[in-house]
């Protein structure tokens, strides 16, 4: 059911949520986390859809913060959805006027007790996520550098403001690649002396993969532009020759290594829902991301 509350308060939202739960027979008993999405009216539909799908198997409370019309008088409108698209609860919070500057005062009372808080900015990258008023309420702060105008600059900013608990979807997108690369290097191979990562221009995932390899091996790794889609090739230069993984079509990867037949494996680009699912799986600080980000920053500055 959907409940619309205009010019309301968090107390009234609480009451409405409890009433709805009682009427539906206590659906939302086992909610595992609160997901706060900070977005705008234009983007909220896609973001809420992806989050609801990610929360389908396991209920969570989704709070959507939408800031509108700063020039008007302060007003809070709430749209509560319970028992529809996802098993949890979704509350769209529209904040008008000066209230928009104090969104944390609305979000804080609505967080579920005793469970983690995750915040996601699907379409903006805050300067320092952990110092954002709402970001400060969360254990896990998810940004997406790919959504910024200049992804590289956004990554550099995230690197200088990094705090444990920060994470970025461009790093999440790297997981299938990193998994394949790690599996490839499980096999005996020569000493790695360098490498390249090719991707369509301005792809922050490629930058992070390059930084990750560079940090792990202590060698220089170059990011090179290609036609895409996404990341198209990773090449290791080793003392035994080149180990190359190419993925020209965004679907199937081809692995070539010296003296062995070419092997193929499916390597898909993933939907936002899958990325979110991966992010929600573990909520502890991602130290590997921190190291890759720091490595990227070092390389970025020296350019």
CA distances from 196 to 135, 228, 243, 297 (A): 35, 15, 11, 17
Site stretch for other proteins (CB under 8 A), options 12-20, 139-147, 148-156, 186-194: 186-194
Instruction: Give the whole-angstrom CA distance, residue 99 versus residue 72.
Output: 10
Question: Residue 117 corresponds to which tokens in the numbers above?
Answer: 């808080």
Among 65, 103, 235, 253, binds other proteins (CB under 8 A): 253
Among 265, 269, 273, 294, binds other proteins (CB under 8 A): 265
**In the complex, what is the shortest distance from the CB of residue 257 to other proteins, in angstroms, rounded to a whole number?**
8
Nearer residue to other proteins within complex by CB, 11 or 259: 259
Question: Residue 151 corresponds to which tokens in the numbers above?
Answer: 């992804």
Site stretch for other proteins (CB under 8 A), options 67-75, 124-132, 151-159, 168-176: 168-176
252 binds other proteins (CB under 8 A): yes
Could you list the beta-strand ranges (E) of the chain.
Answer: 2-5, 34-39, 61-68, 75-82, 89-96, 117-120, 140-143, 166-168, 192-200, 221-226, 231-238, 241-246, 252-256, 263-266
Contact 159, 125 (CB under 8 A): no
Instruction: Give the whole-angstrom CA distance, residue 85 versus residue 76.
Output: 24
Site string for other proteins, 59-88 (x = CB under 8 A): xx----------------------------
217 binds other proteins (CB under 8 A): yes
Site string for other proteins, 5-44 (x = CB under 8 A): ------------------------xx-xx-----------
293 binds other proteins (CB under 8 A): no
Among 25, 42, 57, 239, binds other proteins (CB under 8 A): 57
Instruction: Give the whole-angstrom CA distance, residue 69 versus residue 96.
Output: 5
> Residue 71 — φ and ψ, nearest 5°?
-80, -15
The residue count for binding other proteins (CB under 8 A) is 49
Element (H, E) at 228: none
**In the complex, what is the shortest distance from the CB of residue 129 to other proteins, in angstroms, rounded to a whole number?**
19
260 binds other proteins (CB under 8 A): yes
**In the complex, what is the shortest distance from the CB of residue 74 to other proteins, in angstroms, rounded to a whole number?**
35
261 binds other proteins (CB under 8 A): yes
Instruction: Give the whole-angstrom CA distance, residue 194 versus residue 217.
Output: 8
**In the complex, what is the shortest distance from the CB of residue 162 to other proteins, in angstroms, rounded to a whole number?**
16
Instruction: Give the whole-angstrom CA distance, residue 161 versus residue 170.
Output: 17
Nearer residue to other proteins within complex by CB, 49 or 68: 49
**In the complex, what is the shortest distance from the CB of residue 26 to other proteins, in angstroms, rounded to a whole number?**
13
Count of CB atoms situated within 10 Å of the CB of 262? 10
Question: Residue 19 corresponds to which tokens in the numbers above?
Answer: 């009433």
187 binds other proteins (CB under 8 A): yes
- Residues of span 99-158 touching other proteins by CB under 8 A: none
Question: How is residue 165 annotated by DSSP?
Answer: T
Contact 36, 120 (CB under 8 A): yes
Nearer residue to other proteins within complex by CB, 108 or 265: 265
Among 199, 234, 235, 280, binds other proteins (CB under 8 A): 280
186 binds other proteins (CB under 8 A): yes
């Amino acid at each position: 059911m959907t409940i619309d509350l205009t010019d309301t308060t968090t107390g009234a939202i609480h009451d409405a949520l409890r009433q709805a739960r009682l009427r539906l027979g206590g659906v939302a008993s086992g909610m595992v986390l609160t997901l706060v999405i900070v977005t705008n009216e234009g983007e909220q539909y896609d973001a809420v859809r992806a989050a609801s799908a990610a929360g389908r198997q396991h209920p969570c409370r989704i709070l959507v913060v939408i800031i509108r019309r700063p020039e008007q008088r302060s007003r809070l409108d709430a749209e509560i959805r319970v028992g529809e698209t996802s098993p949890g609860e979704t509350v769209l919070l529209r904040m008008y006027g000066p209230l928009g500057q104090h969104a944390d005062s609305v979000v804080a009372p609505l967080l579920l007790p005793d469970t983690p808080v995750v915040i996601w900015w699907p379409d903006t990258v805050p300067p320092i996520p952990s110092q954002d008023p709402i970001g400060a309420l969360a254990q896990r702060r998810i940004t997406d550098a790919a959504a910024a105008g200049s992804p590289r600059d956004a990554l550099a900013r995230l690197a200088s403001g990094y705090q444990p608990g920060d994470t970025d979807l461009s790093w999440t997108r790297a997981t299938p690649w990193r998994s394949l690369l790690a599996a490839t290097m499980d096999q005996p191979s020569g000493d790695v002396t360098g490498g390249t990562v090719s991707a369509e221009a301005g792809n922050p995932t490629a930058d992070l993969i390059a930084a990750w390899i560079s940090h792990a091996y202590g060698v220089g790794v170059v990011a090179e532009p290609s036609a895409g889609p996404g990341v198209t090739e990773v090449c290791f230069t080793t003392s035994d020759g080149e180990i190359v993984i190419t993925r020209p079509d965004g679907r199937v990867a081809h692995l070539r290594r010296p003296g062995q037949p070419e092997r193929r494996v499916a390597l898909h680009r993933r939907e936002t829902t899958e990325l979110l699912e991966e992010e929600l799986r573990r909520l502890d600080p991602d130290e590997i991301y921190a190291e890759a980000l720091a490595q990227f920053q070092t390389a970025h500055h020296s350019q």
